[in-house]
Amino acid sequence: MRNLTRCLCCLALFAAMPAFADGPDGVLGMWLTADGKAQVEIVKQEDVYSGSIVWLKEPLYPADDTSMPGKPKVDRKNPDQALQGRPIIGLPLIQGFKYAGDNDWTDGTIYDPDSGKLYSCKITLMMDGSLRVRGYIGISLFGRTEIWTRPASGSATPQQ
């Protein structure tokens, strides 16, 4: 009887845990960046995962930005002058990821529109449902990690 009680308690504990979507497609959908300033939609095309910015908390340049006040933000820090006029909303942020197993996606890149730089990147779907995004130069030891979360239902609506 005591073992049955333990077993039932364990089952209840696992049932109470948040759903954890593991497997290759667990990363798909909307993600809110660590600073809360953007939402990224991750999609899959064949076996490659990528994500674009679909919403910005502040999609326009502020009035005190003398170069472009009140205009939609563009990729003006891009080193390729031909790309500097492309809108931030719709901008490909992460590209080229392959599922490596164990809720890890590797071999991808992440673009930083604030600096115009491209970094190697690895993403991991965590047990709590958050996304660990690690951008780095060369080896993963030299980089920065952010934690992205799913946007709350009914919160910021993506702009198309």
User: What is the radius of gyration, based on Cα positions, of the chain?
Assistant: 19
Provide the CATH number for the domain around residue 129: 2.40.128.520
List pLDDT tens digits, range 7-57. Answer: 434 433 343 333 445 689 999 999 999 999 999 999 999 999 999 999 999
User: Residue 124 contacts by C-beta under 8 Å, 6 or more apart in sequence?
Assistant: 103, 104, 105, 131, 132, 134
- The verdict on residue 153 lying in a domain is no
- The verdict on residue 105 lying in a domain is yes
Could you tell me the pTM of the whole model?
0.81
- The verdict on residue 93 lying in a domain is yes
Q: Render the chain in DSSP notation, one character per residue.
A: -HHHHHHHHHHHHHHHSPP---SGGGG-EEEE-TTSSEEEEEEEETTEEEEEEEEESS-B--TT-TTSTTSBPB-TT-SSGGGTTSBSTT-EEEEEEEEEETTEEEEEEEEETTTTEEEEEEEEE-TTS-EEEEEESSSTTSEEEEEEBPPPTTSSPPP-
Measured over all CA atoms, what is the biggest interatomic distance in the chain, rounded to whole angstroms? 75
- The verdict on residue 157 lying in a domain is no
- The verdict on residue 124 lying in a domain is yes
Alpha carbons within 13 A on the beta-carbon side of 96: 10
Give the count of domains, the chain: 1
- The verdict on residue 155 lying in a domain is no
- The verdict on residue 130 lying in a domain is yes
- The verdict on residue 159 lying in a domain is no
Share of the chain above pLDDT 90, in %: 72
- Under the banding of pLDDT at 50, 70 and 90, the label for residue 156 is low
Domain encompassing residue 72: 21-148
Q: What pLDDT score does 140 carry?
A: 81
pLDDT at residue 158 above 60? no
